[in-house]
Structure 1
Amino acid sequence: MTHSKSAEPGDKPAGRRGGKRERLAAAAAQVLHEQGVEKTTIADIARAADVPLGNVYYYFKTKDQLVEAAIDAHARTLADLITALDALPTPQDRLKALLAGWVDQREVTARYGCPTGSLASELDKREDGLDQALAKVMRVLLDWAEQQFHGLGRTADARELAVALIAGYQGISLLTNTLRDPGLMTSEGRRLERWIDSLTP
């Protein structure tokens, strides 16, 4: 859901740009996406961030704190995405650009699934409250999508349409990942574009 267009699997998420804390948070988001929470170690995240392992503990004492930092990184990525989308002239343009961003990341989705959705599924099995922190991030996107459907004049069912859009993406992400078929994301993206067009007055 919060893919970064420039990130490729295995890349150093922030290179040497930014502070160590920010690099570690970005690395945590990437590595957790690629490996999952249980398989990921603090050393994996340190390596991806290009930060010495001993330095990590200055910023984060536990892996759970790094998971929290990854959720914050997802929130920042989503905020940046929404800012970029809001610069587009119409709600239809914004919704279609959101779809295009998802489809652009179809190869990554086929390999690892949706970054936010995959993490949400893992965190749901825990009882530490981190699932609710991630739910807040997903709710931001849902609220934004609802505003776009309002802008299309769908005031009575804007929330339902927003839920349908995000659920459609999450569902096709799961199917794309399960079948390792990026073409499914492309096809569903085209269908959702036609659906958005059908809602435009």
Structure 2
Amino acid sequence: MGASDTRRHIVEAADRLFYENGFEATSFADIAGDVGLSRGNFYYHFKTKDEILDAVIARRVSATRAMLESWEEAMPSPSERIRSFANVLVANRTKIMAHGCPVGTLCNELAKLDHAARGDAAFLFSLFRDWLARQFCALGREADADALALHILMRSQGVAALSTAFRDEDFIRREVADMENWLQAQCLPASPSDSRKPA
């Protein structure tokens, strides 16, 4: 395995362990053991856990951008794109019920630690916020696009938090369906597939 592949495996393992166990609770030894590296080989790639955290956040930013771009390409309707965002809760329900939202949990932990990377982690929420606001603009809601984006982002985070507390899959499905109904009420005619009357 080449150095770049080894580094990628380290970051993938760290990403999963930070999500499942928390950043602070995950040690170098945990990550090295998961990847099957000696401590010496591990330190060749990363000298500190903060370096790994930076790489994990960069990986998540890249994956988030790729996901949002794929929705743009696959779905001509902005309302369909927003539904895809809401339905991530259903698609990832097992992990969310076990560990919460990967973005929210990392941001919360780094904020409690007053960690220098807390702003970098919060940038993931900014990606979603800006993207959602653009979708609401495309629906003809330019004046309140950011407020609507924050509303659905807040709603999804609340659902994720309560899903972890209650471990109730039906709750997730009900809340996502309610978010879709709310979205339909916000739609203005912007395209043939978004031709519903405003609420």
TM-score under structure 1 length normalisation: 0.86
Q: Give the SS at the match of 1:39.
A: coil
- Alpha carbons 2:97, 2:168 under 8 Å: kept: yes
Determine the C-alpha separation between the residues in 1 that align with 2:27 and 2:33.
10
**1:163 match:** 150
Determine the structure 2 residue equivalent to 1:93: 80
Which residue of structure 2 aligns with residue 4 of structure 1?
none
Shift of 1:41: 1.0
Q: State the match for 1:35 in structure 2.
A: 21
Deviations 1:43-75 (A, max 9, x none): 222233344443221121111211221111111
Match of 1:130 in 2: 117
Q: Based on CA coordinates, which of the two structures has the bigger radius of gyration?
A: 2
Coordinate RMSD, CA, aligned? 1.6
Aligned with 1:198: secondary structure? Answer: helix
Name the counterpart of 2:182. 195
Percent identity, aligned pairs only, is: 30
Tell me which protein shows more helix as a share of its residues.
2
Q: Which residue of 1 aligns with 2:164?
A: 177
- Counterpart secondary structure, 2:112: coil
Deviations 1:69-96 (A, max 9, x none): 1111111110111111111111011111
- Judged with a 3 Å threshold, the aligned counterparts in structure 2 of structure 1 residues 61 and 153 are, in CA distance, closer, same or farther, namely same
Shift of 1:152: 0.6
Whether 1:139 aligns to 2:126 is: yes
Where in structure 2 are the equivalents of 1:5-44 lying within 5 Å? 19-44=5-30
How many angstroms apart in 1 are the aligned matches of 2:72 and 2:36? 34
Matched residue pairs, number? 185
> Is contact 1:150-1:158 (8 Å) kept?
yes
| Rounded Cα–Cα distance in structure 1 between residues aligned with 2:169 and 2:122 | 26
| Aligned residue in 2 for 1:76 | 62
Gaps in structure 2 of 5+ consecutive residues: 189-199
CA pair 96-76 structure 1, distance change in 2 beyond 3 A: same
